[in-house]
A and B are shown apart, each in its own frame.
Chain A
Amino acid sequence: MSVLELAAVTRVYRRGQPPAVDAVSLAVARGEILALLGPSGSGKSTLLRLIAGFELPDAGSVAIDGRVVADPTFTIPPERRGVGIVFQDYALFPHLTVEANVAFGLHGLARSRRHERVASFLELVGLPALAERYPHELSGGQQQLVALARALAPAPAVLLLDEPFSNLDADLRGQMREDVEKILRETETTVVFVTHGQDEAFGIADRVGVLAHGRLEQLDTPETIYHRPATPFVAEFVGAATFVAGEVRGAHVVTDVGAFPANGAAPPGAQVDVMIRPDDVTFVPAADGDAVVVHRDFRGTETMYCLSLPGGRRLYSSQPSWATTAVGDRVRLEIHLEHVVTFPRR
C-alpha cells in the first residue's frame, strides 16, 4: 500500500500564470525513498510544501496513509498531518538544546518516556554526547543529524527532506549522504526528498521523479531515468547528452555517425533524434580520422573531450583521465549504444 499518494495535484500561485505544480500524480510505497529532481523553478519545493501542508492544492488531492489530507475544499493543517521535515537550513530552534529540539515534537508522553525516546534517537544519529549543546555549538553536519533526529522522533508517516545536503561543504557531503541513507534505511522511513543534483538523487533514491515546469516528466528507477529518459529534457538534465539527427530505415536508425538498432521505437521513415551520452563515445588517435579534438576539459576522474565532426557537428566523449589526447589531434570515433534512445525530431 502506498503511504503517500498525490492525485493530479495542481498549484497556481497567480491566476493567468502557468501553474507551479501541474497535475502531478505519484505514489510512494512504505519504506521507499523517492527523490524529486529538477532545476530551480521546476516546482519541486512547492510539491514538497503541498505534501507538508504549507501550500494548498488548487486541484487534485494529497492522501497520507489512505486518508485525504488536502483537496481544494478541505485541508488538514500541517501540525496534524504526521509529516516530518528536515529543512534546508535545518531550522533548529536556537534557544533550545539539542535534547529539547528533539523532544519538541513529542507530545503527550510522560517525562521519562520522552527522555528515553530522545536518547534513542540521538543514539540513532550518533550524537548521544551532544544532548546539552545548543545548535550554534554544532557543526553543519551535526546540525543536520539533529534536525533528522527531531523530524524522526515523532514517528512521521512520511519524512520530507528539502535540499538536504546543499548547505554542507563538498568534502562533508559524501559522508553525510551515506550516514543519512543508512539511518533512513534502518528506520524504514518513507521519504520524499527534493534536490537539484542528480548524483544525490541517483545515489540515495529507490525511484526518481524528474520535474520540469511543474510537470512530472518521468518517475522511475535511477537506471531507467539515465538510460531510458522519457523526454529530451530528462535526457539532458540527468547527464550530458547530444542529439544526432537520424532516419529510421528498416530495423536501423541511420545517422551521420553510424547506424544503430531501432528496436521498433519508431516506424520506418520517421525522422528522429538519437541521444548520445559522452560515455557512449570512445575514440582512437588516427592520422586519417575524420574527427578533431577541439576542447579538452580535465575533471580529475575523467576527461571530457569535445570532438568536431565533418560538417561542424560536435560530440562529447568522456575518457579515463590517464589517457591524454591533445587538442588539435585527429581521431577516429567509435560509438557503442547499449540503449538506443530516440525522440521524434524537435
Chain B
Amino acid sequence: MAAAAIAATVALPLLVVLASWREPAGDVWTHLWRTQLLELIANTLLLAAGVGAGTLVLGAGLAWLVAAFEFPGRRVFEWALVLPLAMPAYVIGFAFLALFDFAGPVQSALRRLAGPDVRLPELRSGWGVMLMMTLVFYPYVYVLARVAFREHGGAALEVARSLGHSPARAFAAVILPLARPSLAAGVALAVMEALADFGTVSTFGYRTLTEAVYRVWTGMFDRVAATQVASVLLMLVLGVLLLERALRGRRRFTGGDRRGGFPRIPLHGRRAAGAAAACAGVLSLAFVLPVLELVMWALHLGPEERASRGFADLVASTFLLAAASALLVCVLAVVLAYARRLRPSRTATAAAQFSSLGYALPGAVIAVGVLAPVAWLDGVLAAAAEWMLGRRLGLVLTGSAAAVLFAYAVRFLAVGYQTTEAALGRIPPSLDEAARSLGVTMRVALRRVHMPLMRGGIVSALTLIWVETIKELPATLLLRPFGIKTLAIEVWERTSESLWAEAALPALAIVAVGLVPLLVVTRLDGGRR
C-alpha cells in the first residue's frame, strides 16, 4: 500500500508531462514549432551524440590505460581520474569561458605573443558545450569500464595474447565486446546527464530542449507550452533508456574471473611518458585547472566580500534545503524498500522500478510536471480553507519548499532506493522471521533490527542525496521558494552576468561538497580490497 502510494506520487509528474498533449497547443507552442523546435531537437540530439561519443572514447580509453598498463603515476591517476565527477558541468563551463574569453588570460597572452589578430575558435558553441560535458561526464564511462576491464578482461586478454594477438588487437577483438554492457550503461548515464543539463547550455547560449523549457516558462509564462517542450525532451530520454537496454543485449557476462585482475603490461620510455601525459592532461583540463582558477578568483575577492554574511547565509540555506531533501527521500526510500521486502508482490516491484525512472528525468521536466499537481492541491486547499475558515488562503504550496522537495523526491528517489535496498538486501530474511517468532511485529522489527543494520546504507544514501541536491540546478531554479537561493543558483546567476569572480566561491563550495561521496566511495573501495 505505502509502496504503491509513493510510486504513484512520484510517477505523477511524469504522467502530467505525458498528458500535456491533451491540452490544446497554445500560440507559444505554434510559434515555437514554426520557428525553433526542429532546431532545438537537432541541437539536443547533436549534443547527446557528441557527448556520448566523447565520453565513450575518453572514458574507455583512459580506463584501458590504467587497467592494462603500468606507468609512472598509474596508481594516483586510477582514482584521481574520477574527480571531475565532483565538478558540475556549469562550473567547469564558466571556468573555461572565463579562461578562454576574449579578454581572458589565454587569449590575451596569445595576442601578446602572436599579434592582435589571433583568435581561438569560439567556445560558446555546440562544440564547446560538448567539450565541457565530455570532460566532466567521462568518469561515468571510465568507472564502469575500468571495473569491466579488470574483472572480465584478465582471462580473455591472456587467451587472446596466447593466440597471437597484440594487446591492442586483443582489446579491440575481445575486451571491448566483453565490456559492451558496461560501456553502454556508462555512456547512457553520461548522455542522460547531458540531456538534463541546464546550466552549461544556458551560459554557453546553446539552445536545447532543456533550456527551452526554462525559457518558455520564465520568459513567456506559458506553462502548457513548457510542459509540451518537456514532453519532447522526455521522449528523447526514454529513447536513450531503450537504446541502452538494446545495446546491453541479452548476453550476460557475469562471473568472469574474480582473481582480482591480471598483471599490467609495463610501459617504458616514451610510451610511459605518453600514457602519463594523457592522464595528466585530461585530469588537469577537467579538474585541476578549473579548480585552481576558482581558487585564484576566490582569493582575489576582497576579504569583506569573502566573509560577507551573504555567503554564509547561502551555504546555510543550501545545506538546510539539501538536508530536508535527503531526509525526505531517505524516508520514502526506506519505506519503499521495506514494503517490497515484506511483500515482494508484482505491484511493489513495479512501484520500485517505476520510481527509479525519476533519476533519468531532467530536472526541468520534473519541475514542470510537479507544478501542475502542486497547483491543483493548492486550489483544493484554498477551497477547503475558504469553506472551513471562511477566508482566502492564497497559494500555500506553490512557491514553498514543498514543491521543490517534491521535485527532489522524484529526481533522487532512485538514488536513495538503490542504496537502501542494497543495504536491506544484505540482511538475511531469517532475521525477519526470528524477530517475528520472538513476538515482534514487522513495524517494530524495522526499528529494532533493520534500521540499525542498515545504518551504513542509510548514511551513504543521505550523503549522496544531500550532495546531489546541492548540485541540482534546473528544478531548484524553477521551483525554489521565494527569497531562497542555493549555491547552484548563485553560481548560475553570477555566470549569466559574467561575474566570474563572484561565482568562484560558491562554485568551489559545490565542488568541495561533490568530492565527499567520491572520497567516501574510493575509501570504501580500498577497504574492501
Contacts and interface: CB of A to CB of B under 8 A. Distances in A.
Contact of A79 (B430, B431, B437, B453): B437
Contacts of A269: none
A261 B114 CA distance: 118
A91 B436 contact: no
Nearest to B434: A91
B218 interface: no
B220 interface: no
A104 B433 CA distance: 13
Given A89-B430, A91-B428, A91-B430, A151 B437 contact: yes
Given A89-B428, A91-B428, A94-B453, A105 B440 contact: yes
B439 A107 contact: yes
A54 B433 contact: yes
B400 interface: no
A92 B428 CA distance: 10
The main secondary structure of chain A at its interface with chain B is loop
A285 interface: no
Contacts of B302: none
Contact of B433 (A80, A85, A93, A105): A85
A78 B442 CA distance: 10
B449 interface: yes
A246 interface: no
A93 B437 contact: no
A83 B437 CA distance: 6
A104 B431 CA distance: 12
Contacts of A87: 430, 433-434
A289 interface: no
A44 interface: no
B178 to A, nearest CB: 36
A303 B436 CA distance: 48
B436 A78 contact: yes
B431 A91 contact: yes
Contacts of A88: 430
Contacts of B436: 53-54, 77-79
Interface string A30-55: 00000000000000000000001110
Contact of A93 (B431, B439, B441): B431
Contact of A85 (B428, B437, B441, B452): B437
B441 A79 contact: yes
Contacts of B449: 93, 95
B176 interface: no
Given A94-B453, A95-B453, A80 B439 contact: yes
Interface string B417-450: 0000000000010110111111111000000110
Contacts of A222: none
A107 B437 CA distance: 13
A84 interface: yes
B437 A78 contact: yes
Nearest to B448: A104
Contacts of B438: 79, 84, 104-105, 150-151, 154
B428 A104 contact: no
Nearest to A81: B437
Nearest to A104: B438
A168 B228 CA distance: 64
Interface string A151-185: 10010000000000000000000000000000000
Nearest to B442: A79
A85 to B, nearest CB: 4
Interface in B126-162: none
28 contacts: A53-B436, A54-B433, A79-B436, A79-B439, A79-B440, A80-B439, A81-B437, A84-B437, A87-B433, A87-B434, A89-B428, A91-B428, A91-B431, A91-B433, A92-B434, A93-B449, A93-B453, A95-B449, A95-B452, A95-B453, A104-B435, A104-B438, A105-B437, A105-B439, A105-B440, A150-B434, A150-B438, A151-B437
Given A53-B436, A77-B436, 7 more contacts: A54-B433, A79-B437, A93-B453, A104-B438, A107-B439, A151-B438, A154-B439
Interface of A: 52-54, 77-81, 83-85, 87-89, 91-95, 104-105, 107, 150-151, 154
9 smallest CB-CB distances across A and B, nearest first, come from A105-B438, A91-B430, A91-B434, A78-B436, A85-B437, A87-B430, A95-B452, A79-B436, A79-B439
